[in-house]
Amino acid sequence: MSRIRRSLLALFLAAIAAHPATAWADGDPASDVLITDDVFLPYQQPSGGQVAKLRRVIAAARRAGRPVRVAVIHDARDMGAVTNLYGHPQEYANLLSTELQNPVEPGARGHQQGLLIVMPAGFGTKNVPAKVQNMLRGVELPADASPDALVAAAGWGVQQVAADGGKPIREEFGKPKGDSGGGGAVVTILIVVALLAVVGGLIFVRMRAGGGTAAPDPGDAAQSPGGNT
């Protein structure tokens, strides 16, 4: 290997050693967007009205002293190179928070503000009050939540963060409804049980109406097995 090639290789390896995060981090689109914006929206765009409401809520929370950056994740396409974290909102919140605090983009300023991740699997949080963090992580979202539903859930979460700081903001979003999959299964079971009860009742009624076995005549007891005496 020539001296020039060895020198170039040495410079390349030195650059990787000096910036190891560059090779692996910043592979998710949200880490690029949230450096300069408060909201990352999914590839499948939600409605403009919902997004406008979410931005109003985030701006109000910032004025109330509770700045929060929000990433709305609808499906794996929104995860970029870290699709393995889709369905794991808290793990992704941990990673994204680190990327925002230590951005790899030249000249970018790091952020240590509140971070809210919303995906069908639920909420992930970072740098928010412990009470709100525990409450949001316990909220279940529908597995088939639409982009609009996820934006609404994110807005509601931002409202909770602001309220915890003692400065509630105008509520633009209500509490999200949880996954109804378990409730649907219970309803199905109850319907099956009710149908079985109805069928059993009909069979019993038909048997009583003439399909059953008649009771023995008491007079027969006086007759011998061989005939009349």
Rounded Cα distance, 203 and 218, in Å: 28
| Contact criterion met (CB below 8 Å) for 34 and 96 | yes
The whole-angstrom separation of Cα 160 and Cα 45 is 24
pLDDT digits (tens, 9 = 90+) for 93-147: 999 999 998 777 665 666 778 999 999 999 999 999 999 999 999 999 999 999 9
Asked if residue 105 lies in contact with residue 153, where contact means CB atoms within 8 angstroms, the answer is no
- CA separation for the pair 210, 188 (Å, rounded): 34
Pairing assessment for the beta strands 122-126 and 114-119 based on DSSP bridges: antiparallel
Confidence (pTM): 0.67
- Distance, in Å, from the CA atom of 48 to the CA atom of 91, rounded to the nearest integer, reads 29
The full set of domain ranges for the chain reads 3-164, 180-209
Residue corresponding to tokens 């990673």: 95
Task: Report the percent of the chain where pLDDT is more than 70.
Answer: 63
Closest by CA to 69, choosing from 141, 135, 124, is 124
Residue 192 in tokens: 């099956």
Q: How far apart are CA 11 and CA 5, in angstroms?
A: 10
Largest pairwise CA distance in the chain: 132
CATH number for region 3-164: 3.10.310
Q: Which of 2-11, 61-70, 167-176, 199-208 has the lowest mean pLDDT?
A: 2-11
133: CB partners within 8 A, 6+ apart: 125
Q: In what order do the strands lie in the sheet with 114-119?
A: 39-40, 68-72, 114-119, 122-126
Q: Which amino acid is at 81?
A: A
Would you state the pLDDT for residue 76? 96
Residue 180 CB coordination number (10 Å):
12
